[in-house]
Amino acid sequence: MSEITLRCISCNTEYGPEEIIYSCKKCGGLLEVRMNPPEAGFDDFSRRAFGVWRYREFIPIEEGAEIVSLDEGGTPLYRCERLAKWVGVRSLFIKYEGRNPTGSFKDRGMTVGVTKAKSLGSKAVACASTGNTSASLAAYAARSALTCYVILPSGKVAMGKLAQALMHGAKVISVKGNFDQALKLVMDISRNMGIYLLNSINPWRLEGQKTLAFELVDQLGYVPEFVAVPMGNCGNISAIWKGFVELEDAGLTRGKPRMFGVQAAGAAPVVEMLRKNLDRLSPMKSPETVATAIRIGNPVNWPKAVNAIRSSNGLYDAISDEEIVETQKMIACLEGIGVEPASAASVAGVRKAVSSGSIPKDAEVVCVCTGHLLKDPEEVISVCGKPIEIPPDLQAVSEIIRPEQTPLL
Ligand code: AN7
């Protein structure tokens, strides 16, 4: 394998792959994993199982490392004809990341991040999380016999995610504060107590998440025109963009998609920054949205996400909670695909962009739906209501059943 380095995206200082650092020692900038383009191509990949490790040569983990895996990635790409009509676009696909082992895209990153933690000799791992990162890290830590600490914003983590972190045996710490405060805390802990940090500021994690781009090219046979991604801490959009850049640099594809970053209106600091064309992010103090996964006011990876959007001639927008919930229902009812609220933001963003004309009606769009419906059952009950309760008799049930009812669209 070619030489691997960690490089600061601001000042280009390089570090060795064995260094345990999460930001540049000189300037504090974000780090990125760099390597020369590998020789392998899609013919080599096609002989292997569909998933993250199919793209082994592009994953900068040294040969011989013991890989920690739960068979992540290899998620379906659904063509959605009825949803496309509702959105108003010619062709729409959903890349359904809810089909990962713990029900979100985070597993792509954790298989690589936890493998790295093991190969560095770490005994304990930690993260702050709005929920999915903690569910995923807890599972991968269990799989590899690592001690796991997760720090969660009290009362703001969806029930399914909390259940996962608890059951997989993580030490779950709830802080009276929001995600941004929890992240600051866990960064201090990891620095002072030698616990390996697995938030998306950890560049190794993004190396797993970039494989979503590889899978899209594998599934479509070409590079899609638009890829819409919900943004929270902004790791995922950065990782997917990195995947497309590396594919082109290796000569495996030509061209890159326009990246579309979507935030919830109550937690949209990156969209604000781009709208005002600023060169720095102003953090939002009290982010609030029904999509608790992306309830983040100070996303650490904003420089990478802004670069992805600007250099892809991309798009960005913020979506109201009402639009997020309506879209979540339409995805579920029109296509049978169950996603959590944050995931629906990508589709909602595309719908808005098509109606305003910033995405043409004859375009083809891939929406990344990042997490499973069952992650947040309480939100479902609050927006759908409880089931109708009746006595166990035919009269009562026949008052409800209307066989002539037509489908939604
Ligand atoms: C379903 O779990 O930040 O922009 O701590 O769970 O890469 O942060 C979750 C993020 C989108 C945003 N969709 O991704 C966490 C956390 C879902 C998510 C995002 C998250 P990033």
Tens digit of pLDDT for each residue in 346-389?
Answer: 999 999 999 999 999 999 999 999 999 999 999 999 999 999 99
pLDDT at 74: 98
Minimum CA distance residue for ligand 1 atom 18: 293
- pLDDT surpassing 80 at residue 407: no
Tell me how far apart the alpha carbons of residues 123 and 118 are, in angstroms, rounded to a whole number. 8
Residue range(s) defining the domain that contains residue 21: 1-36
Query: 96 and 21, same structural domain?
Result: no
Q: Answer whether residue 67 is part of any domain.
A: no
Q: Answer whether residue 344 is part of any domain.
A: yes
| Ligand 1 within 6 A of CB of 370 | yes
* Cβ-defined contacts of 63-69 (< 8 Å, 24+): 63/1, 65/115, 65/118, 65/119, 66/115, 66/118, 66/119, 67/111, 67/115, 68/111, 68/114, 68/115, 68/118, 68/140, 68/143, 68/144, 69/111, 69/115, 69/143
For ligand 1, the distance from its centroid to the CA atom of residue 294, given in whole angstroms, is 6
Query: 97 and 15, same structural domain?
Result: no
Q: How high does pLDDT run on average in the chain?
A: 96
Name the domain count of the chain. 2
- pLDDT surpassing 80 at residue 406: no
Q: Answer whether residue 226 is part of any domain.
A: yes
Q: What is the DSSP letter of 80?
A: -
- pLDDT surpassing 60 at residue 1: no
Kindly report the pTM of this predicted structure. 0.97
Which one, of 284, 272, 108, 263, lies nearest residue 179 by Cα? 284
| Ligand 1 within 6 A of CB of 233 | yes
Query: 282 and 357, same structural domain?
Result: yes
Helix 235-249 and helix 211-220, axial crossing angle in degrees, nearest 10: 60
- Strands 196-197, 315-319: parallel, antiparallel or unpaired by DSSP? unpaired
Query: 83 and 32, same structural domain?
Result: no
Query: 214 and 288, same structural domain?
Result: yes
Q: Answer whether residue 153 is part of any domain.
A: no
Query: 259 and 335, same structural domain?
Result: yes
Query: 12 and 90, same structural domain?
Result: no
Q: Answer whether residue 28 is part of any domain.
A: yes
Q: Answer whether residue 399 is part of any domain.
A: no
pLDDT at 401: 87
Altogether, the residues listed in the chain come to a count of 409
Work out the percent of the chain whose per-residue pLDDT is above 70. 98
Q: Answer whether residue 98 is part of any domain.
A: yes
Position 133 confidence tier, pLDDT thresholds 50, 70, 90: very high
CATH number at residue 215: 3.40.50.1100
Q: Answer whether residue 213 is part of any domain.
A: yes
Tens digit of pLDDT for each residue in 59-95?
Answer: 999 999 999 999 999 999 999 999 999 999 999 999 9
For ligand 1, the distance from its centroid to the CA atom of residue 293, given in whole angstroms, is 5
